[in-house]
């Protein structure tokens, strides 16, 4: 398959918008907890993970579908192509430096808050070190090593659960999905969508927000989210290959897609209809946003802004949650640093998290990846 390789600047920018939405979602979650409210103000923000999965599948298909080694390419002199080992190395270089950084920051935050669970009980240093070691290699912690007491798969940095599934998606693509015909990929996506809806209904919690916990049913839900999102993005990349981008300046497309994404994530709890709304977003509305974003070209300031947001998205996602842990700890222990100003700490977290992510991106993540790529 040979087709032009455009750079999807709008999709880069939308990844950054989604990462900022996740930061806001977690902040609103902590604010609601501090106020004693059952629900937060960005109820469906967790669906940004599904948007990430779709984007990742799209990028995998766009970047790698035509680069695999085949018998025909070897016989006709068509180039060396890429092996599974090559692909895995590329993905490790792209993802794992921030996995390590996120684990380190999670360990530091846990130490600062006194190495105690949410209920105040102390945690043995041995358990903490084992949990940290597992986090360094992105291996889920069993419930027996739940050092925070919230059943998190990665208790030192909870959002890393989605990176674990991201790795699984990359392996699935390398070993199976890239070999599938587009016809069978359509079947896969349809079946996975049905299973995603069925699981959400059967779980009986009016949501598909699963994957973050080491509990088996929760992990199953996260796997189903991956098994739809990743192949759906891959399918869209294959379809996009035969549809050239629209030339010209389309800054409004980036703005429209961004507003649509944030609007969908901000929809409040719909009660018994929530799970249907969530599946509608994941199976129809998010793919529509990705498709719209992939069809347009941006230039000038819009292109630079979208590119920067795309670069920032992964570092911000990987490092922001330890700060949220500290915020919740302050609430639990009534040691809120800003006393009676409930919005001061969330604002401070934003003012710390975003510059910290930029700093880590510029002095650690990008230089290290460049160095590793040259080897």
Mean pLDDT for 26-43 is 84
On whether the CB atoms of residues 301 and 308 are closer than 8 A, the answer is no
Mean pLDDT for 79-85 is 79
Whether pLDDT at 152 is above 60: yes
Distances (CA, A) of 92 to 53, 141, 163, 373: 17, 20, 11, 10
Strand-pair partners of 116: 122
Looking at residue 2, its pLDDT comes to 47
Q: Report the C-alpha gap between 357 and 126 in whole angstroms.
A: 29
Looking at residue 78, its pLDDT comes to 45
Residue 246 φ then ψ, to 5°: -85, 125
Looking at residue 82, its pLDDT comes to 86
Q: Report the C-alpha gap between 117 and 124 in whole angstroms.
A: 11
What's the predicted TM-score (pTM) here? 0.93
Looking at residue 369, its pLDDT comes to 97
Whether pLDDT at 274 is above 80: yes
Looking at residue 251, its pLDDT comes to 77
Least trusted range by pLDDT, from 205-214, 275-284, 328-337: 328-337
Residue 73 confidence class, pLDDT cut points 50, 70, 90: very low
On whether the CB atoms of residues 286 and 257 are closer than 8 A, the answer is no
Looking at residue 247, its pLDDT comes to 59
Whether pLDDT at 79 is above 60: no
On whether the CB atoms of residues 293 and 222 are closer than 8 A, the answer is no
Residue 323 confidence class, pLDDT cut points 50, 70, 90: very high
Burial of 77 (0-12, 13-18, 19+ CB in 10 A): exposed
Question: Mean pLDDT: which of 62-76, 139-153, 156-170 is highest?
Answer: 156-170
Tens digits of residue pLDDT in 289-307: 999 999 888 888 999 999 9
Looking at residue 55, its pLDDT comes to 97
Mean pLDDT for 220-227 is 96
Looking at residue 249, its pLDDT comes to 65
Helix intervals (H) in 176-320? 182-203, 216-240, 251-265, 274-280, 286-295, 300-319
Which stretches does DSSP call E strand in the chain?
Answer: none
**Mean pLDDT, the chain, as a whole number?**
90
Looking at residue 40, its pLDDT comes to 84
Tens digits of residue pLDDT in 224-269: 999 999 999 999 999 988 777 665 567 789 999 999 999 999 999 9
Whether pLDDT at 162 is above 70: yes
């Amino acid at each position: 398959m040979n087709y032009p390789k455009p750079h999807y600047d709008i999709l880069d920018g939308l990844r950054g918008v989604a990462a900022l939405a996740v930061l806001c979602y977690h902040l609103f979650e902590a604010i609601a907890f501090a106020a004693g409210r059952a629900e937060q103000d960005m109820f469906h923000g967790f669906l940004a993970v599904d948007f990430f999965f779709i984007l990742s599948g799209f990028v995998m298909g766009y970047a790698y579908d035509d680069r695999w080694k085949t018998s025909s390419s070897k016989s006709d002199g068509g180039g060396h192509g890429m092996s599974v080992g090559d692909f895995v190395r590329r993905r490790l270089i792209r993802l794992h430096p921030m996995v390590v950084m996120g684990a380190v920051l999670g360990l530091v935050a846990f130490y600062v808050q006194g190495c105690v669970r949410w209920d105040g009980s102390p945690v043995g240093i041995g358990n903490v070190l084992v949990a940290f070691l597992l986090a360094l290699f992105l291996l889920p912690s069993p419930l027996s090593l739940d050092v925070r007491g919230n059943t998190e798969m990665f208790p030192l940095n909870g959002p890393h659960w989605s990176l674990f599934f991201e790795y699984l998606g990359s392996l699935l693509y390398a070993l199976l999905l890239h070999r599938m015909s587009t016809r069978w990929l359509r079947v896969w996506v349809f079946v996975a969508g049905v299973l995603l809806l069925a699981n959400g209904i059967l779980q009986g919690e009016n949501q598909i927000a699963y994957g973050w916990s080491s509990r088996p049913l929760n992990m199953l839900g996260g796997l189903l989210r991956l098994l739809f999102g990743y192949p759906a993005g891959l399918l869209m990349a294959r379809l996009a290959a035969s549809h050239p981008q629209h030339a010209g300046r389309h800054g409004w497309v980036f703005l429209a897609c961004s507003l649509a994404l944030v609007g969908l994530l901000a929809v409040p709890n719909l009660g018994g209809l929530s799970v249907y709304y969530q599946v509608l977003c994941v199976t129809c509305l998010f793919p529509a946003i990705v498709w719209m974003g992939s069809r347009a070209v941006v230039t000038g300031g819009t292109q630079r802004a979208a590119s920067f947001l795309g670069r920032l998205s992964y570092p911000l996602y990987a490092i922001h949650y330890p700060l949220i842990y500290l915020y919740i700890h302050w609430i639990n222990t009534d040691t809120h640093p800003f006393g009676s100003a409930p919005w001061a700490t969330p604002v401070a977290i934003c003012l710390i998290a975003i510059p910290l992510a930029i700093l880590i991106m510029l002095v650690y993540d990008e230089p290290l990846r460049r160095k590793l790529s040259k080897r």
